Chain A
Amino acid sequence: MADLRDLYQEVILEHSKAPRNYRELKPADHKAEGYNPLCGDRFTVYLQMEGDKIRDIGFQGSGCAISKASASMMTQSLKGKTKAEADKLFERFHQVVTGQESNGNQTELGKLAVFSGVSEFPTRVKCATLAWHTLEAALEGKQEASTETE
């Protein structure tokens, strides 16, 4: 049986209560709003770029513990990364939260590996990926992202 402590790990709870980079960037080179119509979670992701690199990243909005912690930890892991590196990281993250990746091979993910517990809770995958979908939309210059493509 799935264990709640795998889902709500200390570090996730801590980030959900005190999210990092929780601010609007002005001016932002890119920003996009992400929305999960299922539960009403809504986040805006702001990006300042330096060429192809993410110089700074911030987010604001409201959502559950999983979505908020995921957004917070995503911003921490992306500063200084290129678009291609961000895409790759999301791909790996997605594999882990959907259970397509064994727990053994998570070195690239670093701290983000704490979200592997989400794979035991299929209804919460969209919570974990909302900020990432929003990031992807922002990087591609789109204004909106929805988890309904998940």
Chain B
Amino acid sequence: MTTVARLPWDSVQTAAHDLSSGYDVERVRADFPILRESARGHKLVYLDNAATSQKPKAVIDAIVHYYEHDNANIHRGVHYLSERATEEYEHARRVVQGFLHAARPSEIIFVRSATEAINLVASTYGRKHVGSGDEVLITAMEHHSNIVPWQMLCGEKKAQLRVAPINDRGELILEEFEKLLGPKTKMVAVGHVSNALGTVNPIAQIVKMAHAKGIPAIVDGAQAAPHVAIDVQELDCDFYAFSSHKVYGPTGFGVLYGKAALLDAMPPYQGGGDMISSVTFEKTIYNKIPHKFEAGTPDMSGAVGLRAAIEYVNRIGIENIAAHEHELLEYATEKVSAIPGVRIIGTAKEKAGVLSFVMNGIHPHDIGTILDQEGIAVRTGHHCAQPVMERFGIDATARASFALYNTKEEIDALAQGIQKVQEILG
């Protein structure tokens, strides 16, 4: 195999982000070209990171570099470029392995998104192991992507979807969760961090409870990957899903981690090229993992982009990022909850990156429009978590979500914007 040439920005940026003198958010911001954009005549204040994050130059450059220097189809050519492209792709897999602290690279499967990762598990492991009368247990704070695939599976198999409740702060009630783990439970599916509430779930404890009853657990890590350090071996989860675009990588790319023994025993997801060892019209021998689950030509540039994103996050350090975001969240919570008529939705003790709120007599959609006129991007609506809205007796919230490049000044702008909302509509 050829070795991958170290790209020039690696060493440059390592030097740029020496954090010994503290977190330099302005230096971080300089890495993200889009942050120089203005919106509606104002400086862009991007607080919709839970929907998708912006991309550092290193990621954009890595994708361009891939297409300018390395592009060829992978795992099949004997020629020079194919070898290079394959090495780039497999190098990305090892980088993701490191990011998740997985035991081996073959446990990392590249997919389109966290959504596809969950669908993959539901339609392979799920179809094989969930039968009539069985149960799948989820929580009341799940994103639609960790509800609907299980609902579809349960519908098909005449199984039951059970839902563990949350309290008024938006925390999973662990005792209730444990009670719902029964002899019929065949799968536990739980989000690491709630996209609508920001709650961080105690995954290690949840997995331990499930394993005590012999039940496997899949974790939807879409909202966790940009905010918390992930060690799948320490969590001991059986599957872990996340999306590249929420962790500063490109869209349309995602990761499924699975324990090798489980992946080996699972039927394939889609049929096609690359997932086979040999094909005759009588019989097909499937390839070994991870390739068994990667039918067709994948998004090679996506893998390269995600690799660059993880390397970027690693250079800054996920602990430093988490500390910075925690400071922002505390500051924002204090500022926003001090405004009369504003109520924060989701007040868990352990939170990451998300501030959801409602205002007395003012619909979130109107909040969103007025903030937008100030150049402030927030999400408004049900956040693909309609059952969460129902739990809190609301139709929608406005949600500010934070990333490593956000500043306290931006939160001041948000608070001023909310005050303007009240002036106009209050």
State the CA gap A121–B370 with chains docked (Å): 11
**In the bound complex, CA of A79 to CA of B40 (Å):** 40
- Is A100 an interface position by the 8 A CB rule? no
Mark A1-45 against chain B: 1 for CB-CB distance below 8 A, else 0: 110100110000100010000000000000000000011111000
Q: Is B366 an interface residue (CB 8 A)?
A: yes
Task: Say if the beta carbon of B396 comes within 8 Å of chain A.
Answer: yes
A66 and B396 form a contact (CB under 8 A):
no
> Among the listed A13, A17, A40, which residue makes an inter-chain contact with B396, where contact means beta carbons less than 8 Å apart?
A40
Contacts of B362 in A (CB 8 A): 65
- B367-390, CB under 8 A of A: which get 1 and which 0? 001100100000011100010010
A8 touches B381 (CB 8 A): no
B373 and A63: CB pair below 8 A? no
Task: For B424, list chain A residues within 8 Å (CB).
Answer: 4, 8
Contact B380 A39 (CB under 8 A): yes
B365 contact from A4, A13, A41, Cβ within 8 A: A41
Across the interface, which residues of A come within 8 angstroms of B380, CB to CB?
39
Give every chain B residue within 8 A of A64 (Cβ-Cβ): 363-366
Collect the chain A residues with CB atoms within 8 Å of residue B395's CB: 40-42, 62-63
CB-CB < 8 A to B382: which residues of A? 39-40
Alpha-carbon separation in the docked complex, A42 to B380 (Å): 15
Interface size on A, residues (CB 8 A): 22
CA distance A65 to B389 in the complex (A): 19
A51-86 contacts to B (CB < 8 Å): 62-66, 68
What are the residues of chain A within 8 A of B22 when measuring CB–CB?
Answer: none
Answer whether A8 and B389 are a contact pair too, CB < 8 Å, given A40-B395, A121-B369: no
- Distance from B364 Cβ to chain A, minimum over Cβ atoms (Å): 8
Known: A1-B41, A40-B381. A13 touches B425 (CB 8 A): yes
Q: How many residues of chain B get a CB closer than 8 Å to chain A's CBs?
A: 20
Interface check A102, CB cutoff 8 A: no
The answer to whether B8 has its CB under 8 Å from any CB of chain A is no
- Interchain nearest-CB distance for A80 vs B (Å): 30
CB contact between B369 and one of A17, A42, A124 (< 8 Å): that residue: A124
- Contact flags B389-426 to A (C-beta < 8 A → 1, else 0): 10000011000000000000000000000000000110
In the complex, what residues of A have CB within 8 A of residue B369's CB? 4, 7, 121, 123-124
Q: How far is the CA of A123 from the CA of B380 in the complex (A)?
A: 12
Residues of B within 8 A of A145 (CB): none
Looking across the interface, which residue of chain B has its beta carbon closest to that of A123?
B369
- Docked complex Cα distance between A64 and B364 (Å): 7
- How far, in whole Å, are A63 and B362 apart by their CA atoms in the complex? 9
Residues of A with C-beta under 8 A to B366: 8, 64-66
The answer to whether A39 touches B425 (Cβ under 8 A) is no
Smallest Cβ-Cβ distance to B395: which chain A residue: A40
Which one, B40, B361, B386, contacts A1 given CB within 8 A?
B40
**Separation of A91 and B295 alpha carbons in the complex (Å):** 49
Of all chain B residues, the one with the shortest Cβ separation from A126 is B365
The complex places the Cα of A38 from the Cα of B381 at a distance, in Å, of 7
Smallest CB–CB gap between B142 and chain A, Å?
A: 17
Given A40-B389, A40-B396, A41-B365, A4 and B381 contact (CB-CB distance below 8 Å):
no
Could you tell me if A8 and B425 are in contact, using CB atoms closer than 8 angstroms?
yes
Selected from B363, B373, B381, the residue in CB contact (under 8 A) with A65 is B363
Return chain B residues, CB-CB under 8 Å to A97: none
**Residues of the A chain whose Cβ atoms lie less than 8 Å from the Cβ of B41:** 1
**A122 to chain B: closest CB distance in Å?**
11
Contact of A39 among B40, B373, B381 (CB under 8 A): B381
- Residues of the B chain whose Cβ atoms lie less than 8 Å from the Cβ of A127: 365
9 pairs, A vs B, C-beta closer than 8 Å = A4-B424, A8-B366, A39-B380, A42-B395, A64-B365, A65-B362, A65-B425, A68-B363, A123-B369
- Which A-B residue pairs are the 9 nearest by beta carbons? A64-B363, A64-B365, A40-B395, A39-B365, A40-B396, A65-B366, A64-B366, A40-B382, A39-B381
- B interface residue numbers (CB < 8 A to A): 40-41, 361-366, 369-370, 373, 380-382, 386, 389, 395-396, 424-425
